[in-house]
Chains A and B, each alone.
Chain A
Amino acid sequence: MWKFTRRDVIKTTIGAAAASAGGALLPGHVMAQQAPKLEIEKGAKLRLLRWSQFVQGDIDTWMANTKKFTEKTGVEVRVDREAWPDVAPKASVAANVGSGPDIILDFFDVPHLFADKLVDLTDIATYLGDKYGGWFPVAERYAKRDGRWIGLPLGAAGACMVYRKSHVEAAGFKEFPKDTDGFLKLCQALHAKGTPAGFALGNAVGDGSWTYWLIWAFGGKIVDDNNNVVINSPETIKALEYAKQLYPTFIPGTLGWLDPNNNKAFLDGQVSLTNNGISVYYAAKNSQDPKIKALADDIEHANFPIGPVGRPTELHLFSQAYVFKYCKFPNAAKAYLQFMWEKEQYEPWQEASIGYITHPLKGYEQNKVWSSDPKALPYRDTVKNMLWHGYSGQLGYSSAAALNDYIVNNMVAQAASGSKTPKEAVEEAEKRLLRVYKV
């Protein structure tokens, strides 16, 4: 164990210590990677703003790990929490006024909105990547800008298909379909049996992300590699035609569904299939209500079916941390992040979070959270399977605006419900995207 005096802390680099402690624990890892030398500033104190926990184990372990960091380094870390949609506006204000939390744990591409105001995290990101088997490509996409790391990926609150095994079997499917054709047939069969599916088609920030999967699965995308708007394509129209067939199989009301609706409907037994994080399963498993608890045995998870493009095209709530340049103690901030991402801290935290967050580092695939309960296994691959929401263009002002303006969600909802033809819906989306991508 480390023995730190205050003087040691100032002189010694925490990174080197963390490397020596963590590297030996990784199976098959012969030599510990060289940690960046981070001389923690004298009297350093940090303030972190992060999203409120989805599961209690997350924050309990996060705080315990933070306490460990404080004990080892003497650096106090104040952790503030906000509902996750409120973090980005606060970060934006902090970036604009140059004052506020030192570190922010946020979702999606927010750091790309003020990249020049952020501390370069390339050294710790490179170190962690080298040490833990590398970052998944989407993690690099979210965290890097112009070759430097402006964020440190934490992972994604992954979503999977959550379904009732008995209902799927009763509908004539021995296993969950792996392609979109089979998926449509399953939804139709479930509807025929009176045990329908339900997917959010309202302005749902998280659970509405299935609409991106749908468009990408058929080869559609909002922009090309050079950020040219290409939504108006035969592939998108095909996806919308598919949505039109899918929508009548849903339980009524999904056009107005926000994020919590599908959880409630599923746990009440009104829908047999939806998309969600692992929280529905754990809510059932830990419920005091015997009726809901009994559901847990019947719940299964599967990754999103693959469309005609022939590869996974998922989108999940991706989280990353970033440090503002106005932070007076950037080395302390980096040391804190590095410490929290090390295996000794990250894996127990991920486990306590019951797998709600899927790792961005390939080396954490062996975490026992994925093997202790086989039902959690599909969530392991959600980061590996995902694309970034501005696919296949660059992340930044425009991709953020497009996501938060629900352009894709509304396009799919309009076409699916028949309030517009697929052609009309895609034209309206194209018009809005052209505006949003006019930087």
Chain B
Amino acid sequence: MTHSVPLWDRLKNHNGVLSVLFMAPAAILLLVFLTYPLGLGIWLGFTDTRIGRPGIFIGWENYLSLLDDSIFLKSVFNTILYTAVATVFKFALGLWLALLLNRHLPMQAIIRAVVLLPYIVPTVLSAIAFWWIYDSQFSIISWMLTKMGLIDAYIDFLGNENNARAAVIAANIWRGIPFVAICLLAGLQTISPSLYEAASLDGANAWQRFWYVTVPNLLPVLSIVLTFSILFTFTDFQLIYAITRGGPNNATHLMATLAFQRGINGGMLGEGAAIAIAMVPFLVVSTAVTYLGLQRQKWQ
């Protein structure tokens, strides 16, 4: 006589079913909050949808129009410049700060907490602070330089195209350094001191210890942090929107701010979505280069 096992008991002990069940919550979250919005964005980019009016499929028209749109092309240039310059400075200064913080310092915990402050402060608040710092009439930088007799007239930080670009990049660097520094500090602390001792015994100087011990061991963390930093910088919105709204003469518009301006404020959802989706290839390439490139270094 055969003993029948209840269906539920069989399912409970079935590895395939269990794995599906355990993965389901994460999969549902990803589908609802990531896949669906992304899919909808891709679809909208192929339509002429406006706020309040469903669109129709128009093929590549939005993208073709953007290729001939000087403001969009300017925003692509701005975004690449903004990301590249800010990332280089954030990493150089962040790594330097991490190395300093990795030393035995008095009140180490307090100093590390203070370093994080720029990252903790809500972006809009720091953006407003920078807006004042860069104000053409009330800038504290200009005021100080004037008092010191170094300049005669206030610097036009946000009214000159190149100055405005440099100003928003500087604000992004200031805000992003703590993220890089703290992440790299965590990476530095995983490196065994015995490696440095061995290197010292072999006669390695400080630079050689950094290049042959610190850098290779830091690369896995570095690749992750670099990837995230590029993603965050490339998609930055708040700093620009609060400080310049993309001006002057669209000189500081990033792809994200232009997508918002046209898609939400201007109501052209289709074109706004197309601009947002146009960011994806850049992000994929930069992620592939930084993450996979640096990871391979580690495997070698």
Contact = CB atoms under 8 A, between A and B. Distances in A.
Interface of A: 85, 88-89, 92, 95-96, 113-114, 117, 201-204, 251-258, 261, 264-265, 268, 270, 397, 400-402, 404-406, 410, 413-414, 417, 419, 428, 431-432, 435-436, 439
B50 interface: yes
B261 A404 contact: yes
B265 A256 contact: no
- Output the residue of B53, B154, B160, B249 with the most chain A CB within 10 A: B249
A413 B52 contact: no
Given A256-B136, A397-B52, 12 more contacts: A95-B51, A113-B52, A117-B52, A202-B244, A255-B159, A256-B164, A256-B248, A401-B267, A404-B267, A405-B261, A413-B248, A428-B71
A83 to B, nearest CB: 11
A258 B127 CA distance: 14
B262 interface: yes
A397 B249 contact: no
B111 interface: no
Interface string B118-159: 000000000000000001111000000000000001101111
A255 B50 contact: no
B156 A253 contact: yes
Contacts of A204: 245
Interface in B35-77: 50-53, 65, 69-71
A261 B261 contact: no
Contacts of A261: 135-137
B187 interface: no
B-side interface size class? 35 or more
B249 A419 contact: yes
Instruction: In the A-B complex, list the 7 residue pairs whose CB atoms are closest, starting with the nearest.
Output: A253-B136, A256-B158, A114-B52, A203-B245, A256-B159, A255-B159, A255-B248
A252 B245 contact: no
Interface string B167-205: 000000000000000000000000000000000000000
Contact of A258 (B154, B245, B261, B262): B245
Nearest to A93: B51
B52 to A, nearest CB: 3
A202 B52 contact: no
- Output the residue of A114, A264, A402, A405 with the most chain B CB within 10 A: A405
Nearest to B161: A419
Given A202-B158, A435-B65, A255 B249 contact: yes
A89 B51 CA distance: 9
B212 to A, nearest CB: 48
B264 interface: yes
A70 to B, nearest CB: 31
A96 B52 contact: yes
Contacts of A257: 136, 159
A173 to B, nearest CB: 24
Contact of A405 (B50, B159, B262): B262
Given A252-B159, A404-B266, A419-B161, A96 B248 contact: no
Contact of A401 (B154, B164, B266): B266
Contact of B244 (A253, A256, A397, A414): A256
Contacts of B160: 255-256
Contacts of B267: 92, 113, 397, 400-401, 404
Contacts of B51: 92, 95-96, 113-114, 397
Contacts of B164: 256
Nearest to B132: A264
A401 B160 CA distance: 26
Nearest to B258: A405
B70 A252 contact: no
B225 interface: no
B248 A252 contact: no
A264 B137 contact: yes
B247 interface: yes
16 contacts: A92-B51, A92-B52, A202-B245, A251-B136, A252-B159, A253-B156, A264-B135, A397-B50, A400-B266, A400-B267, A404-B265, A404-B266, A406-B246, A419-B161, A419-B249, A435-B65
Interface string B230-266: 0000000000000011111110000000000110111
A203 B137 CA distance: 18
B283 to A, nearest CB: 25
B226 interface: no
A260 B262 CA distance: 23
A203 B136 contact: no
Nearest to B158: A256
B156 A252 contact: yes
A251 B154 CA distance: 11
Nearest to B157: A256
Contacts of A402: 266
Contact of A202 (B138, B153, B247): B247
Contacts of B98: none
Contacts of A428: 70-71
A96 B54 CA distance: 9
Contacts of B158: 202, 253, 255-256
B275 interface: no
Given A264-B137, A265-B137, A436 B268 contact: yes
Contacts of B261: 404-406
A200 to B, nearest CB: 10
A432 B268 CA distance: 13
Contacts of A432: 69, 71
A192 B158 CA distance: 24
A203 to B, nearest CB: 4
B247 A203 contact: yes
B274 to A, nearest CB: 12
A401 B245 contact: no
Contacts of B65: 435
